Structure 1
């Protein structure tokens, strides 16, 4: 999945008030003669003025640190325009937003990490088309592939926000240096390294897929990443769109390839337990044995940089770092699994459209990216903004001409599959279900 990519907060949920619009800057439009410095600070938000005293309610699955950083990125906008933005982070966002739509009690805006779920709600007529300014910002900032993820039948509904590179393997540079390991450049080297570590009596990999109602999504990421490498991007697209069935022999081969690592008792689950312990280990804790030296490698997305304990140095020569999950045949390109977030509106009041327009702009993306822990595929964000080494690595992958990027497959599938039977099926597979039974069950569930 991305998680969705935003299933990584530790708290059950939190509501945060953003940009109350009651500070001096919020009154800058009226007090510009008396407060020229404040007026200058608010000048970038002049085109969003005229909505003082209004409120906009926004929901999503980002919580904790992610929600706090979103607050910071929107604070000046809220202060300068006087728009009060109420953000509610919900660990069960996918289920909640469906219920909101069914009950007719939707928020004004929501941040979606699953285009499949978003398109389900668009099909129900719940989502408003993006206004002209948002569409213009989209064309300025993203390539057509990204815009298509937020579009249906040629109508643009949701502008991209963040992007996450999932094709990464976390490791300890100190452990690699101490034991003479080299970062693998292709799949064969990755397996050779795994075998070398196993031959030394250690288990090279650690993983965790428990995530509350979303348990199983990290295993779907493994499937998607390996599918890009084994089956190729064209077959990947056909699988995600169900042009080929979920239990196609090519997908069975992908599943078994994943199993050669995740269900290999010689390889997992270092520092935690056996193969089945993957299903009960939280995804947040799944990679921590890398830091203690009990585990050598952990495949997880770029956002995992925020899961390491406070004080952990994330750098090429630090406590932990990441390398690109290698291709089977690098000569055929650089497959990369990516995820992202999209902002969609359920109402079209002027103040809602103002917030929507700002959050689709390069200015907002630059503001949020400069805080770290957040990457955008928006080409108006300068690479120099990314001071965090993993953010910079991710942005390099996104901008590499050799990269063959595909969006997280489970996030593109119908919500009942991508955020349902696929998660459940992969969890049961880790617990011992066969490849055939797992894929047949998911195929049978396709709407």
Structure 2
């Protein structure tokens, strides 16, 4: 689902209101850039203009975004005012309904973005933005941001969710090999448990989005057990949420995450994961209190400062295995840029964000993954980022987008997330799946 989240709230209400009224206010004198402005010539000059951005990302991740577009902003004259909010999913609707919509929003779920598009609140992508989207991404990726044949958004960030983070030193000391099949993964899990260490650690607390790490687990296992066709049918509600094949996937995940013998290493009993933040959940891997943490590629940026990533470093990751060693099912997610305004400076900013130049520049600032065709994996900040980009660019990868992000927002970011918390708390797979099925919007 999501990307981690980081920037103290910027004070932009006055500027956002002024922009909405057509009288953007500059936040103050700009420093004169020493950057080479030639790469930004195609975006034009927009002196004194303001573009407001609202997103989930805060703190360090937000700082890296702002550093990346700093030269673009100085060279074009656009004052990009960024606000990060850890409760983006809950607050964006209130912002829009209250007449305080941002110019640009970074949507972590296509389903949520679709809701605003269908309500007529989003602006269709301009010709320039659409051209960059077609050039940069596959039809599948652009399809996630298309509603009834109209492109509204462009991919900003991608991530591979099907990773298991582990300590190479721990595995070596225990005589363990990286598993290549699900059967081997279960054998490794049991061997670790027999040694007295809980093999899995997890945390599902995420403010208004609490529960999403569990939904990722269920989606990942369903994709491995049933393949892409059944997965697609489930996401599109062509089969019910409580289909026996979905229940099988839930029970498989439950055999790990709801099992006190296997979880929650470093924190307590399995149920403790409901109160552990997803940002902190992998820490016991470093201390040796747990052996494995299933989490997305973006977790590379959440390890404590100084943690080294690599096959012979502090932590590394392997692809959650499928039924056999040759299959490469990959669950992924992404953030999409969409706009509530359609002014020249907004179009210019969106075009820049849709470019390979932006993706490569952001990758040079720190951990970052993009599905843009123009991204060079060799420039990735970490080995896991490099592996992620290679998987996304490999035509043999069986890639599927995060199901909860594609489902109607009331389900994917609503009853599914909530149901996941109830399930960890002791509710049965059938109880939770049946409740989610009954919540699905009826046409």
Q: Name which of 189, 197, 200 aligns with 1:202.
A: 197
CA deviations 1:152-173 (Å, max 9, x no partner) are 1111110111100000000001
Question: 1:19, 1:85 within 8 Å by CA — same for their partners in 2?
Answer: no
Q: Name which of 227, 232, 239 aligns with 1:232.
A: 227
2:374 corresponds to 1:366: no
2:85 and 2:120 map into 1 onto residues whose CA distance is 23
CA 21–446 in structure 1, closer or farther in 2 if over 3 Å, else same? farther
State the SS of the aligned residue for 2:10.
strand
Count of residue pairs the alignment pairs up: 428
Runs of 5+ consecutive residues of structure 1 not aligned to the other structure: 26-37
Where do 1:202-351 residues align within 5 Å? 202-331=197-326, 333-351=327-345
CA 317–78 in structure 1, closer or farther in 2 if over 3 Å, else same? same
1:224 and 1:82 map into 2 onto residues whose CA distance is 44
2:99 and 2:123 map into 1 onto residues whose CA distance is 14
2:30 corresponds to 1:22: yes
Question: 2:6, 2:60 within 8 Å by CA — same for their partners in 1?
Answer: no
State the SS of the aligned residue for 1:296.
strand
Displacement of 1:20? 7.2
CA 97–229 in structure 1, closer or farther in 2 if over 3 Å, else same? same
Q: Which residue of 2 aligns with 1:9?
A: 5
Q: Name which of 417, 420, 431 aligns with 2:414.
A: 420
State the SS of the aligned residue for 2:9.
strand
Where do 1:8-407 residues align within 5 Å? 8-9=4-5, 13-15=8-10, 22-25=30-33, 38=34, 41-331=36-326, 333-407=327-401
CA 135–222 in structure 1, closer or farther in 2 if over 3 Å, else same? same
CA 21–396 in structure 1, closer or farther in 2 if over 3 Å, else same? farther
Q: Which residue of 1 aligns with 2:22?
A: none
State the SS of the aligned residue for 1:378.
coil
2:107 and 2:6 map into 1 onto residues whose CA distance is 19
CA deviations 1:176-229 (Å, max 9, x no partner) are 111111000010000001111122232111111011111101000101111100
State the SS of the aligned residue for 1:111.
strand
Between 162-171 and 268-277, report the one with greater CA deviation.
268-277
1:150 and 1:10 map into 2 onto residues whose CA distance is 24
> What RMSD over aligned residues (CA atoms) do the two structures have, in Å?
1.6
Displacement of 1:14? 2.1
TM-score, with length taken from structure 1: 0.93
Displacement of 1:76? 0.2
CA deviations 1:46-92 (Å, max 9, x no partner) are 12123111001011101011100000011000011110010100111
TM-score, with length taken from structure 2: 0.94
Displacement of 1:21? 7.6
Question: 1:161, 1:376 within 8 Å by CA — same for their partners in 2?
Answer: yes
Question: 1:20, 1:85 within 8 Å by CA — same for their partners in 2?
Answer: no
